[in-house]
Structure 1
Amino acid sequence: MTEKHEYRMEELARLAGITVRTLRFYRERKLIPPPRREGRIAWYDDHHLARLRTIAALLERGHTLNGIAELADAFDHGRDVGDLLGLGEPTEETPVRLTPEELAARFEGEVTPENLAAAMELGYLGTDGDELVHISHRLLEVSSALVREGIPLGEVLQAGVRVREHADALAELFADLILRHAPEPELHRLRPLARSVVEAELSLALDRRMRKGSNSD
């Protein structure tokens, strides 16, 4: 069982690398949940520390405090983080709920505030209370498999950004093609055909890439 740590305000600020004044500001902006009160003493825990480190990583990535506050509000009130990030409810992907400990076990040594912020920015990861929610079981399995093969999680997430760009372009291509010849409701029915084309073309592209590598030896 993981030991629970609690901190006074000064200690929490020191561990998070911020000033007490900044911590008070974040609390007033509701960027972190209220502390546990014991008389006049406020006690913070590891969830507050993790939130502060994630805020720092998001700020480094160019997010505004208003945007972070919106995410924090969604996390604290159980709103659908996928909807908040504009992803909507996945129709074929299965979300996965994880404890922070389970996520750390899957990506040993790779669960840093920077990687968490990148996963949140991609829309892969959100929180619901004390649980983490990954938007896709398949993407979670592939990501953890790549990390087990020795590929840093940060690079996996960077590749995810590029894959997302290409996937969006392919989705637009097939949607435009289908909608030029069929009504909107047919888009969902014909979706498996588009997916099969992409899977086949990617397989052929990997064949060409492997042949290219073997020919250069």
Structure 2
Amino acid sequence: MEELASQAGITVRTLRFYRERGLIQPPRREGRIAWYDEHHLARLRTIAALLERGHTLNGIADLATAFESGRDVGEVLGLGEPTEETPVRLSPEELADYFEGEVTPENLAAALDLGYLATDGDEIVHISRRLLDVSAALVREGVPLAAVLDAGRRVRTHAEALADLFVEVLSAHTAASDVEKLRPLAKSVVDAELSMALDRRLRDTSGPAPAGD
């Protein structure tokens, strides 16, 4: 314990307090010897970084609980499944930097439930670089992360229905081996239709142009 506290730059008393609060996992024991490892040190450094970013110990404890109850990366991404998305590995403090002030236990639990985030040891894995960047951009524009996650949940319902539609159509008229090859065409149809739908909605929202003099 003294060695771990020294490497983490904290006192043994603080380390004991963190253990009592459940902020770090218990050590591995062999008889009367307690063994700490690099995972304990990484967690202590994460706690220090989150404290510097304004998180409270109660908030960090809640985040740790949500984090540890999340599905692991193998369960979320699957093994060997094809994907066009690029996963991103993040430390908890890097995730906090992406969504400054918005990484709450509730939002973390929602993202884990959606499968946007997964756990891999002491790291967090976001399933999609594109979704991560777009979500962060929306938050920077003033959209609350909770609203972004709720929209993602609703979008997924429609996306699943569209995927079912295209797989059904393509499977009915092409060989099974061609379905994956035609995937870009299906995406182009959805992108074009969404673009035109946004044009219509924005035009309806803006209303008629004012009459000239």
How high is the TM-score relative to the length of structure 1?
0.70
SS at the partner of 2:118?
Answer: strand
The 1:172/1:88 distance shift into structure 2, 3 A limit, reads farther
2:209 matched to 1:211?
no
Q: Mark the runs of 5 or more structure 1 residues left unpaired by the alignment.
A: 17-31, 59-67
- Matched residues in 1 for 2:104 and 2:136: separation? 15
2:180 matched to 1:171?
no
2:90 matched to 1:98?
yes
Alpha-carbon deviation of 1:11?
A: 3.8
Q: Deviations over 1:120-145 (max 9, x none)?
A: 11100012122111000000000000
Letter in 2 for 1:202: L
- Following superposition of structure 1 onto structure 2, how do residues 33-52 of structure 1 map, counting pairs within 5 Å? 33-35=25-27
Correspondence for 1:200: 192
Correspondence for 2:117: 125
Letter in 1 for 2:114: L
Contact 2:102 2:144 in 1 (8 A): yes
Letter in 2 for 1:150: G
Q: Deviations over 1:2-51 (max 9, x none)?
A: 966634477405xx8xxxxxxxxxxxxxxx84436695789986579888
2:127 matched to 1:135?
yes
Indicate the structure (1 or 2) with the bigger Cα radius of gyration.
2
Alpha-carbon deviation of 1:197?
A: 0.3
SS at the partner of 2:124?
Answer: strand
Contact 2:19 2:25 in 1 (8 A): no
- Matched residues in 2 for 1:182 and 1:208: separation? 33
2:155 matched to 1:146?
no
2:12 matched to 1:12?
no
Match of 2:151 among 150, 159, 162: 159
Letter in 1 for 2:15: E
Alpha-carbon deviation of 1:56?
A: 5.8
2:74 matched to 1:80?
yes
Q: Mark the runs of 5 or more structure 2 residues left unpaired by the alignment.
A: 1-7, 48-56
Letter in 2 for 1:53: D
2:177 matched to 1:185?
yes
- Number of paired residues? 181
- Matched residues in 1 for 2:9 and 2:103: separation? 19
Letter in 2 for 1:6: L
How many percent of aligned residue pairs carry the same amino acid?
A: 55
The 1:212/1:183 distance shift into structure 2, 3 A limit, reads same
Contact 1:93 1:135 in 2 (8 A): yes
How high is the TM-score relative to the length of structure 2?
0.71
- RMSD value, Cα: 3.5
Which is worse superposed, 42-51 or 200-209?
Answer: 42-51
